[in-house]
Chain A
Amino acid sequence: MILDGKCPSGPLAEKWSKHCQEMKLVNPANKRKYRVIVVGTGLAGASAAATLGELGYNVEAFCYQDSARRAHSIAAQGGINAAKNYPNDGDSIFRLFHDTIKGGDFRSREANVYRLAMVSNHIIDQCAAQGVPFARDYAGYLDNRSFGGAQVSRTFYARGQTGQQLLLGAYSALSRQVAAGSVRLHPRTEMLDLVVVNNEAKGITVRDMVTGKISCYAADAVCLCTGGYTNVFYLSTNAMGSNVTATYRAYKKGAYFANPCYTQIHPTCIPVTGDHQSKLTLMSESLRNDGRVWVPKIRGDRRPSHDIPEEERDYYLERKYPSFGNLAPRDISSRAAKEVCDEGHGVGTGGRGVYLDFGDAIRRLGEDKIRERYGNLFDMYEKITDENAYQQPMRIYPAPHYSMGGLWVDYNLQSSIPGLFVLGEANFSDHGANRLGASALMQGLADGYFIIPYTIGSYLAQTKPGAVSTGNPEFIASVEGCEASIRRLLSINGRKTVNEFHRELGHIMWEHVGMARSSDSLAEALRRIPELRTEFWENVKIPGGEADLNQELEKAGRVADFLEFGELLAKDALLRNESCGGHFRVEHQMPDGEARRDDEKFCHVGAWEFKGSGREPELHKEQLVFENVHLAVRSYK
């Protein structure tokens, strides 16, 4: 089937406003009759729930943490983009749009990305009005920094804790609506299933993570804002609880999963130290503004960094990409790091690391300036590695970080199931095959504050409020299904822990479906993942009971989904027989090692439809049409 993204017609710059005028409105007096479920309280979910609450809808908001404020958006460090052009350095909405399309290696929808660039400016205004303490200059104006993949300074930031401050802004707006009675919060509650009635999303089934009780909620529409799936690699920069469960179970209920193979490996993370490692910590990309990336020219050089003279250092990003240098986009920088390490130039334990050196910047600007810009990141680095990065270079290595893929949505952020909307990292919409830095925060807040309030209204205006209740057979069946699957997990009583399975899956994914993929490696992954899954269902050991706070049971449910989802990801990667952005197939590269796209065959979104357990999913395509940008070879040289 050919999917329709439902992009409005007309000139690019007018599509959104024209669409806003055409959308249906809900009568203000009727809004409170509509109930909307918002799963997730990160930037996307909190901004959506707060705004829908303000508009007068009845909102039920869910998250698995003990407080809405702890969603993983809190960990974003570097900043958020907007096309304000405050520095007067040539930025514009069109340029932000163009950079984002190009950064995504021409695999995203023009209309969506243009809208994103348009509303980016409102986001900064909104956040400043909420009291987000953005960095300022001495005259009191907002300060900007540059980020990878752009030649203008358009990134707004709050020290190294931009995500925290933006999320606390959204959380405070949410708290205000809780006090006003329009939003009800359900923390420590995990979504286990989507309930679909007559082909429309009408509710969810959840597990109370304290009592273990399974119950369901009915609503007139459901928004999934449940974040990304990079924990399929086990080690990633995501939170321990980040999962694919919510989106994957929606997929199993009929929502199409788009481009699962588009995953982002972030170039600047603290390298792995051993088998005990439970997660990886990002060092914000903003560090590449002042840090220079290098490795020793001599293979296996074990001298301490300060003993390696300047002429024996290879500043490989500056050498290979003279115009972008250390600010080359993430996919490119990550692959370059892997290459130099594969060639034996890596530093640190196991030779899996490259230097990020602030020596020059400290000499130029002074240590205080660097401390002011990145102090918290240097502290974080020191806590983890016991090394002082003011005195010696940081060691960094790429790590799984972000998922560009996600549930397929149309221009209205509506999935293939009417009434199911997907926002933030959980959808696939705006970043194509590679996301540029500082654009996920922008997208999450754009979706939640400025897009969903319009598009969901148009959907709701065409439905009757309260059409279904939890007494419907679909709800009862969903609860029974979730209970049965939990009982099945608990009854296995095997010999391996959930973590062991997760670690093994992560190993398969990282080795065979990671930064460099080939048809052989993917075939190997597709052979090994189902084997591991079979073993999981025969041999996993989960202590404790169902009617209790049981963290192993929570993890087991998530890992069970990753074990299915990993296969879908690998399948998608195998079928996408080209290289683009973060999806690098070794068979398809230029003579200089850059990704080679195949626009003739693959200029489309690949969206998978679940066809039943044990059956092959079906691939649907949405053709990508470029009317305003020229499909060029992406060059950062």
Chain B
Amino acid sequence: MDLTLYVWRQKGPDDQGRLEEYQVKAITPDMSFLEMLDVVNEGLIRAGKEPIAFDHDCREGICGTCSQVINGMPHGPREKTAVCQLHMRSFRDGDTIYIEPWRARAFPVIKDLIVDRSALDRIMQSGGYVSVHTGGVPDANAVLISKADADTAMDAAECIGCGACVAACPNGSAMLFTAAKVAHLAALPQGRTEAARRVCLMTEAMLKQGFGSCSNHYECQAVCPKGISATFIAKLNREFIKAQMPGQ
């Protein structure tokens, strides 16, 4: 298939950036979207031009590195699918495709489609852990966890930290990302002890890192490649209210 691409090119943080047009030919439906970009890049390099810089690593939807807005949708048109898992069979011959970076106040563009997401790491550093040292812990079967709780924890823990939820949110909020971690740990006895402290610290860090607050648009859930549910945001809110109660 033949395609017309408009790709965001930006030399660096201080460059204004613009969309550039590329004509792409002979793309096959079984290519992945990133393999299509590889073909474009090989062509650019041969023509003596700079290839399009984009983030990617595992190319199997788990590391959370890939990050592109395709035709206005973070991670593109397919539900629960990261860019790297998107295949060209989702497009048609003659399509025009717009490719842009994540856009959010907390994610400055580094170059072309690459942004700086270290703010997400800083939210994690504020409290996204159980404060346990290596060694001296009880036998793993000494603490029973109901299957339902373990499953809920796992549903939340599947977040790959890609930041698509932020890019999709009109407020640039990292609420879904933060809520996923809060809910994962709050569902488990190991994480309960620090639950109140954690939810306060992580929410505060989120705002401090330049993310907006949540006003229930649910765009985040729609684009999340792991299908993290927005009900975890409600869970975060409950944990937050609980943490404000006397005695906490």
Answer yes or no: B197 CB below 8 A from chain A CBs.
no
Judged by DSSP, the binding face of B is loop
Which one, B55-63, B167-175, B207-215, B239-247, is touching chain A? B55-63
Question: Do B124 and A543 have beta carbons less than 8 Å apart?
Answer: no
Instruction: Decide if A131 touches B51 in the complex (CB within 8 Å).
Output: no
Q: Which of B34, B44, B63, B190 contacts A128 (CB 8 A)?
A: B190
A164-B89 Cα distance, complex, nearest whole Å: 28
In the complex, the answer to whether B153 meets A131 with C-beta atoms within 8 Å is: yes
Once the chains bind, are A66 and B42 in contact (CB under 8 Å)? no
**In the complex, chain A residues whose CB is within 8 Å of the CB of B117:** 66-67
- Known pairs A66-B55, A140-B144, A187-B118; A131 contacts B63 (CB<8 A): no
A74 & B62 in contact (Cβ 8 Å cutoff): yes
8 Å CB contacts to A: which residues of B149-188?
Answer: 150, 153-154, 157-158, 160-161, 184-185, 188
Which stretch of A19-27, A250-258, A277-285, A568-576 is in the interface? A277-285
Contact segment of A167-175, A322-330, A414-422: A167-175
Complex Cα–Cα for A131 and B85 (A): 28
B248 within 8 A of A: no
Cβ of B44 to closest chain A Cβ, rounded Å: 8
User: How far in angstroms is the closest Cβ of chain B from A262?
Assistant: 24
Say yes or no: B144 contacts A141, CB within 8 Å: yes
A70 & B63 in contact (Cβ 8 Å cutoff): yes
Establish whether residues A70 and B64, one from each chain, have CB atoms under 8 Å apart when the complex forms.
yes
When each residue 531-563 of chain A gets 1 if its CB lies under 8 Å from chain B and 0 otherwise, what string results?
000000000010110001101100000000000
Contact A497 B45 (CB under 8 A): yes
* Cα A626 to Cα B144 with chains together (Å): 40
- Confirm or deny: B110 has a beta carbon within 8 angstroms of a beta carbon on chain A: yes
Q: Check if B190 sits within 8 Å of A239, measured CB to CB.
A: no
Chain A, 476-498, contact with B by CB distance < 8 Å: what is the 0/1 string?
Answer: 00000000000000000001010
Q: Which of chain A's residues 86-125 have a Cβ closer than 8 Å to chain B?
A: 86, 122, 124-125
Interface membership of A57, Cβ < 8 A: no
In this complex, what residue of A is CB-closest to B29? A386
Assess the B190–A129 pair: CB atoms within 8 A: yes
Bound CA–CA A22/B200 (angstroms): 45
A278 in contact with B59 (CB, 8 Å): yes
Q: Would A380 and B60 count as touching, CB distance under 8 A?
A: yes
Tell whether A175 pairs with B190 under 8 Å between CB atoms, given A129-B138, A276-B39, A383-B81.
Answer: no
Complex contacts, B1 vs chain A, CB 8 Å: none
Nearest B-chain residue to A238, judged by Cβ: B58
Residues of B within 8 A of A54 (CB): 133-134
Question: Which residues in A have their C-beta under 8 angstroms from that of B157?
Answer: 133, 158, 165, 168
Complex contact B48–A136 (CB within 8 A): no
Instruction: Report which of B30, B65, B135, B191 forms a contact with A70, defined as CB distance below 8 A.
Output: B65
Question: Contact between B121 and A130 (Cβ–Cβ < 8 Å)?
Answer: no
Q: Please, which residues of chain B bring their CB within 8 A of the CB of A449? A: 134-135
Please determine whether A125 and B144 come into contact, CB atoms closer than 8 angstroms. no
Q: Is the CB of A178 within 8 A of B63?
A: no
What separation, in Å, do the CA atoms of A125 and B56 have in the docked complex? 33
- Interface flags for B121-136 (1: CB within 8 Å of A; 0: not) read 1001110111111110
User: What residues of chain B lie closer than 8 Å to A384, measured between beta carbons?
Assistant: 32, 85, 87
Complex partner residue of B53 from A137, A173, A380, A551, CB under 8 angstroms: A551
Q: Contacts A126-B137, A175-B121 hold; do A499 and B61 have CB atoms under 8 A apart?
A: no
Chain A neighbourhood of B35, CB < 8 A: 276-278
User: Are B81 and A273 in contact, CB atoms less than 8 angstroms apart?
Assistant: no
Closest Cβ–Cβ distance, residue B231 to chain A (whole Å): 17
CA distance A393 to B55 in the complex (A): 33
- Is A75 an interface residue, CB under 8 A from the partner? yes
Contacts of B129 in A (CB 8 A): 130-131, 172-173, 175-176
| Docked CA distance A274–B35 (Å) | 11
Given A133-B188, A142-B140, A276-B28, does the pair A66, B116 have CB atoms closer than 8 Å? yes
Is B16 an interface position by the 8 A CB rule?
no
Closest beta carbon of chain B to A167's beta carbon, Å: 10
B85 surroundings in chain A (CB, below 8 A): 380, 383-384
- Residue A1, interface by CB 8 Å: no
Q: How far apart are the CA atoms of A126 and B161 in the complex, in Å?
A: 23
- The distance in angstroms between the C-alpha atoms of A135 and B154, with both chains bound, is 9
| Inter-chain contact B59/A178, CB cutoff 8 Å | no
Alpha-carbon gap, A52 to B153, bound state (A): 28
Contact partners of A379 in chain B: CB under 8 A: 80
Residues of chain A contacted by B31 (CB below 8 angstroms)? 274, 276
Could you tell me the distance between the alpha carbons of A239 and B160 in the complex, rounded to whole angstroms? 15
Decide: A541 near B63, CB < 8 A? Known: A131-B153, A140-B144, A549-B110.
no
Cα–Cα, bound, A441→B188 (Å): 23
In the complex, the chain B residue whose C-beta lies closest to that of A76 is: B62
Cα–Cα distance between A570 and B168 once the two chains are bound (Å):
49
Beta-carbon contact of A386 and B60 below 8 Å: no
Q: Is there a chain A Cβ closer than 8 Å to B230's Cβ? A: no
* Residues in B whose Cβ lies below 8 Å from that of A380: 60-61, 85
Smallest CB separation, A316 vs chain B (Å): 27
Given contacts A126-B134, A140-B145, A551-B51, contact A75 B42 (CB under 8 A): no
Complex: how many Å from CA A164 to CA B161?
11
Indicate whether B139 reaches chain A with its CB closer than 8 angstroms: yes
B185 contacts A135, C-beta separation under 8 Å:
no
The listed residue (A68, A164, A240) touching B62 by CB distance below 8 A is: A164
The 4 A-B residue pairs with the shortest CB-CB distance, nearest first, are A140-B144, A172-B129, A129-B137, A128-B140
User: A-side interface residues toward B, CB under 8 Å?
Assistant: 47, 50-51, 54, 65-70, 72, 74-75, 84, 86, 122, 124-131, 133-142, 158-159, 161, 164-165, 168, 171-173, 175-176, 178-179, 185, 187, 210, 239-241, 273-274, 276-279, 281-282, 379-380, 383-384, 386, 449-450, 453, 495, 497, 499-500, 541, 543-544, 548-549, 551-552
> Could you give 23 example pairs across A and B, Cβ below 8 Å?
A66-B65, A66-B117, A72-B58, A74-B64, A75-B63, A125-B139, A126-B135, A133-B157, A141-B141, A164-B158, A172-B129, A175-B125, A185-B121, A277-B35, A278-B32, A278-B34, A384-B32, A384-B87, A386-B89, A449-B135, A495-B46, A499-B42, A549-B114
Q: Knowing that A130-B132, A449-B134, A495-B46 touch, tell me 9 more A-B residue pairs with CB under 8 angstroms.
A: A67-B161, A74-B160, A131-B153, A136-B146, A158-B157, A172-B130, A187-B121, A276-B35, A278-B35
